[in-house]
């Protein structure tokens, strides 16, 4: 039996949908890249219903939603902060996401939420400019 050493190929980062990149990336919540990729990878492997449903939302809207109102509704309802926190906890329980990564993601989400539980930047976040763009306050 031969024991030849093979160099390890670098792991390719998963390709993420545009909407996920927009929400988690530097133009959105600003989740550090490694934490965002870990969260996305966990979501891709998840088998629980709520995580699979969110994965379906990202797949369904891999491109921008059709209208500004649809975009706003999507972020208020389907991508609400509470839902993202619940799914993050489910990813931990399913054994797919490490607690330290989850803490980073959840802290960033919570820093961007009002006392009423809405995105803090919601009122000035979305602007129609021929395409959708996340704006920082």
Q: Per-residue pLDDT tens for 23-72? A: 898 878 999 999 999 999 999 999 999 999 999 998 887 665 567 777 77
If one counts every other C-beta atom within 10 angstroms of the C-beta of residue 76, the result is 13
**Residue 2 within any structural domain of the chain:** no
Which of 3-17, 20-34, 70-84, 91-105 is predicted with the least confidence, judged by mean pLDDT?
3-17
**Residue 30 within any structural domain of the chain:** yes
Taking only the tens place, the pLDDT of each residue in 97-137 is: 999 999 999 999 999 998 988 888 765 555 433 344 444 33
Can you give the residue range of the structural domain that contains 52? 18-134
> What is d(CA 100, CA 96) in angstroms, rounded to the nearest whole number?
12
Domain count, the chain: 1
Residues 12/61, Cβ–Cβ less than 8 Å = no
**Residue 32 within any structural domain of the chain:** yes
């Amino acid at each position: 039996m031969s024991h030849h050493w093979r160099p390890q190929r670098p792991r390719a980062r998963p390709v993420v949908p545009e909407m996920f990149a927009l929400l988690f990336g530097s133009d959105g919540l600003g989740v550090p890249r490694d934490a965002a990729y870990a969260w996305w990878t966990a979501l891709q492997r998840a088998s629980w219903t709520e995580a699979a449903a969110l994965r379906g939302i990202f797949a369904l809207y891999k491109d921008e939603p059709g209208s500004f109102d649809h975009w706003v509704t999507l972020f208020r309802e389907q991508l609400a902060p509470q839902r993202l926190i619940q799914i993050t906890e489910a990813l931990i329980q399913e054994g797919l996401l490490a607690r330290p990564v989850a803490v980073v993601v959840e802290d960033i989400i919570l820093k961007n939420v009002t006392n009423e539980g809405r995105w803090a930047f919601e009122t000035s976040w979305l602007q129609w400019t021929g395409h959708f763009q996340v704006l920082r306050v």
